[in-house]
Structure 1
C-alpha cells in the first residue's frame, strides 16, 4: 500500500527550515511519504505548517497560510492540518480558539510528538540531528544553538524560543560528517546569537572559534559561512580561524540595528557607537577582504532625524558589502512595547527606510563594480535557461547576490569553478569560465 503523504510548508528563517528538515526525516523514518512544499496538495494529504512569529508581517503571513489550508481542511481537500513553529509556540491557545479547523497545534520543537500523534510507528531512533535536506544537495544550514539571552528591547525571540542553549561540539561534528557523506560541501552556520555559542557549556566562555576550527578540519568541508553574530561580547578569536583556514569564508553576518548611542541604549544592545566602530575596524584589520552583512532598523521609539542622519553617515562611512533593514514594528510583550510609546509616524519610518536602502543600493553597486575583471572562485548552484548560477564565498544562499556564468561544458551543479567577472549589475555579477 502506498504510504500516507505528509506535506510540510515552512515559513520564516533558515533556522525554521532546519526544524522542518528534522521533522521530515522523522516522518520518513516512521513510514510516511514526506514532502516539502509541493506545488499543490492531493486529496487525502496531511499538511503541517511550520510558522514564523518574529515580526508583524511574518505573523500575518503565517495566519493567512493557516487560513488558506483551513479552508482546504473544511472542504476535505486535505485530511488533517497540523500547525507548529514560533507562532503557535507563543499563541497556541488564542489560535486554537480562532481557527478550530486546525486538528492540532504544536510548539517549536515538538518534532517527535508530531510523528507519534500521526502514527503508532514513531521515529524515536532517528538521531536528534538527522534531517531530510530541502536545500540543493551541496549546501546546508547548520544550526548550532537555540534561543537567546540578550533580550533586546524590540525582539520577541527570547519570549518564543527561551534562553540560549548551545548544542554540544561533538554532536555538531557528527551532523557535519553525516551531511558530508551525503554530498554537502558548504555549511552556513546559523544561530540566533553565534557570539554566545558555548557560554552555557563547560567553561562558560564562547567556544565558537573552537567549533569552527574543528569543523574546518573535517575532510569534505569546503566552505563554512557564519551568520547572526551579536556585536557585544563578540568572540575575537574566531577571526583568527577565519583568517587562517581557507575553507572558512571571509564573510560575517553581524546585526548592528543602529549606531546612535541613545538608540543603542534604548534598544538594550549592550554596546556603544565607539565600541561598534572599534569592533568593525578590528574585524576588517584581522580579516582583509572580509564581506560584512548587517541589519539595521529605522523608526525605533524616540528616533529623531538627528539619530537617523547619524545612522546614514555611519552607513556611508562603513560601506557594508551586504545590508538589510526594516522599520520598527512593536511586538507585544517586548521591553519596548511595555516601556516605550511607538511614537515615530509610520510614513516617517518608511521614508527613512527607503533613504537608507537607497544609499546602500549605491554602495552595493560600487562594491560590485570593483569585482569586474577579477578572477573568482564560485560554487555552481543550478542551471537555468541562459546561464549557470553560482555564488562566491561572499554570497550566502537566498539573501546575497548571485553570479550568472555563461554556459560552459565544464560547469556542474555543486562544483567549484574559476570565472572572470565581466559585468556588475545591482544584484548579480556576470561572468565567464576562465
Structure 2
C-alpha cells in the first residue's frame, strides 16, 4: 500500500496598492505564522503552493494592475506551479461577483473585512489575541501603523468608503500596544495611517482624540520617529500642533491631501473647504510648528476642470510652496457621486495638466533643497544600493519623498541614525556625508 506524502503549505502574499493594504497583508502573515503555516511576501523563488493577491481598487491603473497580477497567478496555477489562488482586498470587495464570473480559476474571493473567512479557507484559526502581531513586509526599522479603518467623508471622486466602509477607530490602548510590539521587533519609525487621520476617536470617544493618541505614542520607549499621513483639511484638529511641536519623536511632517485649489473644483469634489480656508490653515500650521514639512496630493482632470482651474492650482502651489506634492489624474469611478458628471477631460489632457503642475512643484522642490546645502540633518539609513547608502530625514516618508544619498567610505548600519551634512541638492534628492 502506497503512503501519500503531504507537502506542507507555503503561502505567498502579493500586496498591491497603498500602505493600508500592506498592513492587512502583514496581519494575515502574523495569523498564518501563529497557525504554523509558512508565509512569505512577494516570493521570487516560487517555492510556495498557495498565493494570496491583496488587490487595490482605487483608480483605473490600480485596478488594471490588480487584474493583471491575478491573471499571472492563475496562469501559474494552470501550468501546475500553484495549487491555490486566493484574492482579497479592495478590488475583491468591490467587484467580487464580476470577478467570480470572469476569473473562475481563482479558488475564492474575499472582501476587506473577511480575514477570519480567508483564514478558515487556509485551514487556520483566527486568533483574536494576536492584535498588532504581524510579519513585516517593510525593512525591520520602520512600519506602518493603521489607527482606523474606513471613512465617513463623501468626497465625490472617492470610492474608498464603498470598499472600506465607515470610519472605525482602534482604541488608544490597542494602537499603543501595537506600537510597543513593533518596537520590540526593532522598529524605530512608525507611519500613522488611516483613510482620514484627523477623524480619529470621534466614533468611540465622541471627540477627536488624535492629540491624546500622539502623546501616548510619544511615550513609547524606543520609538524615535512618529510620522502623520493622510490628514483631512476640513475641521482640522489644531490641538495636535502643540503636541507635534513639543514632542521630539513626532516628526515635523504632515501629509494632508488637498486635491485642488480652485473653489469650483473643491465644491464639485465635495471637499467641505475653500481655497481661502486652506491658505489660512496652512499658515496656522506653519506658525504653530515652525519648519514643518507639508506634503499634499492633488487631482487633475476632474469633470469640468478648465485650464483656468489649472492656472489657479499652479498659482496656489507657487504661493503655498509645499515641501512635497504628489498628483493623480482623475479616475471615473462608478457609484461615486462624480460618476454622474461627464468625464470630459481626455486622458492625454489629464496627463498633460498633471505634468504642467508638477513642473511648478519641481522648481519649488529644487529651491527648497538648495537651502539645505551646508546644513546637518538626522538621517535614518534605509538601505545600501549600488554601493551607496540611502537614507531619509524626518521631512521624508518612505518611497514618496526625497532620499539622502550618503557619500564617503564610512561603513553605516541600515536602520541606524546618523548626522549628515548636505553637500549637494537636486530636484527631489540630496547628497551628504556623515559627520
Could you tell me how far apart the structure 2 residues matched to 1:103 and 1:321 are?
45
Partner of 1:259: 261
Could you tell me how far apart the structure 2 residues matched to 1:309 and 1:402 are?
30
Partner of 2:280: 278
Partner of 1:374: 375
Alpha carbons 1:26, 1:126 under 8 Å: kept: no
What is the CA distance between 1:306 and its match in structure 2?
A: 1.5
Matched, 1:165 2:141: no
Moved more, 121-130 or 224-233: 121-130
Partner of 2:433: 432
Alpha carbons 2:376, 2:419 under 8 Å: kept: yes
What is the CA distance between 1:345 and its match in structure 2?
A: 2.8
The two structures have a TM-score, normalised by structure 1, of: 0.97
RMSD of aligned residue pairs (Cα, Å): 1.3
What is the CA distance between 1:126 and its match in structure 2?
A: 4.6
Partner of 2:309: 307
What is the CA distance between 1:427 and its match in structure 2?
A: 2.6
Partner of 1:361: 362
What is the CA distance between 1:125 and its match in structure 2?
A: 5.1
Please state whether the residue corresponding to 2:212 is helix, strand or coil: helix
Matched, 1:65 2:65: no
Alpha carbons 2:232, 2:256 under 8 Å: kept: yes
Q: Which runs of 5+ in 1 are unaligned?
A: none
Could you tell me how far apart the structure 1 residues matched to 2:365 and 2:301 are?
23
Alpha carbons 1:225, 1:252 under 8 Å: kept: yes
Could you tell me how far apart the structure 1 residues matched to 2:181 and 2:329 are?
40
What is the CA distance between 1:327 and its match in structure 2?
A: 1.4
Alpha carbons 1:378, 1:392 under 8 Å: kept: yes
What is the CA distance between 1:407 and its match in structure 2?
A: 4.4
Partner of 1:391: 392
What is the CA distance between 1:408 and its match in structure 2?
A: 4.4
Moved more, 301-310 or 153-162: 301-310
Moved more, 22-31 or 8-17: 22-31
Question: Which of these residues, 2, 17, 22, is aligned with residue 22 of structure 2?
Answer: 17
CA displacement, residues 206-226 of structure 1 (integer Å, 9 cap, x when unaligned): 111110111001111100000
What is the CA distance between 1:137 and its match in structure 2?
A: 0.7
CA displacement, residues 164-214 of structure 1 (integer Å, 9 cap, x when unaligned): 110000000110111111111101000000010011112x22111110111
Could you tell me how far apart the structure 2 residues matched to 1:375 and 1:350 are?
37
CA displacement, residues 145-176 of structure 1 (integer Å, 9 cap, x when unaligned): 01011110000001111111100000001101
Could you tell me how far apart the structure 1 residues matched to 2:179 and 2:409 are?
31
CA displacement, residues 313-344 of structure 1 (integer Å, 9 cap, x when unaligned): 00111111100111111000100002x11122
Moved more, 348-357 or 190-199: 348-357
Partner of 2:59: 55
Question: Which of these residues, 333, 336, 340, is aligned with residue 334 of structure 1?
Answer: 336
Matched, 1:183 2:186: yes
Could you tell me how far apart the structure 2 residues matched to 1:365 and 1:278 are?
25
Matched, 1:90 2:94: yes
Alpha carbons 2:55, 2:88 under 8 Å: kept: yes
Could you tell me how far apart the structure 2 residues matched to 1:61 and 1:416 are?
36
Alpha carbons 2:27, 2:135 under 8 Å: kept: yes
What is the CA distance between 1:409 and its match in structure 2?
A: 4.0
Q: Which runs of 5+ in 2 are unaligned?
A: 1-5
Matched, 1:147 2:150: yes
The two structures have a TM-score, normalised by structure 2, of: 0.96
Across the two proteins, how many residue pairs are aligned to each other?
Answer: 430
Question: Which of these residues, 313, 318, 321, is aligned with residue 319 of structure 1?
Answer: 321
Could you tell me how far apart the structure 1 residues matched to 2:397 and 2:240 are?
19
